Every structure is written in C-alpha cells, then in structure tokens.
Amino acid sequence: MSDPAEKSHEVANPEMPLVHAVNVMKSFHDNQVLKGIDMDVHKGQVICLLGPSGSGKTTFLRCINQLETIDGGRIWVDGELMGYKDRDGTLYRLDNKAIAAQRREIGMVFQRFNLFPHKTTLENIMEAPMQVKGEKKAQARERANALLARVGLLDKPYAYPSQLSGGQQQRVAIARAMAMSPKLMLFDEPTSALDPELVGEVLAVMRELAKEGTTMIVVTHEMSFAREVADRVVFMDGGVVVEQGDPKSVIDNPQHPRTKSFLHRIEAKPQAVEHVPESLEEAILAEQRLQELPEEHYLQGDE
C-alpha cells in the first residue's frame, strides 16, 4: 500500500464469501493495471475471468495470493485479510513468513507448468507438503500417489517432466497444487501453452475438481469450459469489471459493447475443444481417436 497506516473501513466477518475483494488497485510504474476490482467468490464456486490480454486478469489472481502487492483496496480469503494485519483499524504489512503461511492455503496453476525438471512426478508432488508442512515422507508419498491416480497418471510416478506431454505435465502441476489441500485454486490460462489435442485432458481434470466442490478462479479463453463449468463469468477490460453474470447470459447474450467485441473475436478463432469432456477417460479416448486419424485429415485442414 502507498500508506501502511491507511485506515481500514471494512472488517472481515464469518459470513464473508471465501474470497472477498473490495476496490483492489494495482499499478506497475505509471500503468494502472487494476482500477478498483470488487469480487466475491463463495465456497464451491467456479468463476471464469475472461478478457483481452492486458485487462488485469492474471494480475488480479497474483494479488489474491500475494505474488503481487496491491496498492489499494482489500482482499480477504476465508475471512483472513491477505498481506496485512488490522490493528485497531490501521493496516500493517505482514512479514514474508506470515505471507508465505497465507499463500500455502491457495493453490495456483500457471500457464507454464513450472515443474522441477530434475525431480520425478512423485517427487514434484511430495516436495511442498514435506518442505512446507513438514509431512513425513511416507505420508507425502501416499498422498502423492493418490493425487497421481486422481489426475490419471498413476502409471508415471517415476517419469521426469521431459518424458511427459504438455497435458501430462499440467496434470502433474494440478496434482502438486492440490497436495497442499488448498482452500482455493487459481488457474492462470492453464491450457494456453498446450497443443490443441491435449487441452481436453486438462479441462477434464478441472471439471472433475469442480464437481468435487473445489473453489476455483480460472483465467481462460476456453469458452466451452466457461460456458459448461463456470457458475459465474466475469469479463474484464482495462483493469475494470465490465460485465458479469451466469455464463449463458454473458457469453450468449452480452450487453456491453466491449464484451460483444471480445467474444466476437474469440468465436472467430477455432476452439481447442467444443465440449469439455465429462471425465479424464473420455478426454484421453478422444485424443487417441485423433492420433489414429490418417495424415490426410490434417493435410485437408491446411488447404
């Protein structure tokens, strides 16, 4: 914050949503990226953030888990003020250790998988619970194996990232984030770095997490996921929330000209998947069918 002794006019209470953001602002030098974002996310909800590049979507995610320091406003996660301590109405910045303790309650999956290249899939998932939470190795291994099964990779515990496809690496990244039993999962365009045929398997895992009641905020350009899985869609542009509501009303019947323009551009581009697979098994079968198509199928698409 510009003034660490700024007065807090709003106090968290037990009835707050899981995520409660009020007037969140963030600038990088002279560029104001967030211009007063208000957002509530309730437990078990899936919120999709849509918008053009530079609209502030990723910055907002990074502010939630304190990878970026906000310049104004407040963010609470599960009733806890993020990054600051309120003492008699005055805010003081938490130290790095306290911020790290808050951050461990939030899982984040990035565009690039950020796996440790020198560690196996099992070791990547075990690392944080052992190093951060102090879990015993046997306990961490048991949970890591369960998570590998959950993302369909139980047969690859000793594979290194370089031996996995992009989709498999991203599934490991999801399992690694879930290993900390987070209250909240943040996804920053988790399929944008994947080949189109691998997108379905990652979206299928995310759909299954949503069915299990995982609270998720997802930055995505995958309209099928936003339409089929999200409880609410938020369209951002220029650092503000332009339009929000249930997916059908925002995606199929946008009201604001900026939302209409963005969706028109997105719909003009081919989507990786027209329908989010109901299960990982369905997604993998679809990939296998694509791989079995003759080469002429792809050549025809290039004509």
- pLDDT tens digits, one per residue of 50-74: 999 999 999 999 999 999 999 999 9
pLDDT score of 294:
60
pLDDT band of 110, cuts 50, 70, 90? very high
Query: Is the pTM value of this prediction over 0.75?
Result: yes
pLDDT for residue 258: 96
**Average pLDDT, integer, range 107-112:** 92
Q: What is the pLDDT of residues 14-51, one digit of tens each?
A: 467 999 999 999 999 999 999 999 999 999 999 999 99
Mean pLDDT of the 88-98 span: 88
Has residue 297 got a pLDDT over 80? no
Instruction: Provide mean pLDDT across the span 264-271.
Output: 87
pLDDT tier for residue 1 given thresholds of 50, 70 and 90: low
- Report pLDDT for 7: 38
Res 254: pLDDT = 95
All residues at 6 or more sequence positions from 152 whose CB lies less than 8 Å from its CB, including other chains: 171, 201, 205, 280, 281, 284
Q: Can you read off the two tokens belonging to residue 50?
A: 């849509």
Mean pLDDT of 188-217: 94
**What pLDDT was estimated at residue 25?**
96
| CA-based end-to-end distance of the chain | 55
Chain-centre distance of CA 271, in angstroms? 19
Residue type, 40: D
CA angle at residue 205 from 42 to 262, to 5 degrees?
65
pLDDT at 303: 42
Residue 111 confidence class, pLDDT cut points 50, 70, 90: confident
pLDDT tens, residue by residue, 161-195: 999 999 999 999 999 999 999 999 999 999 998 98
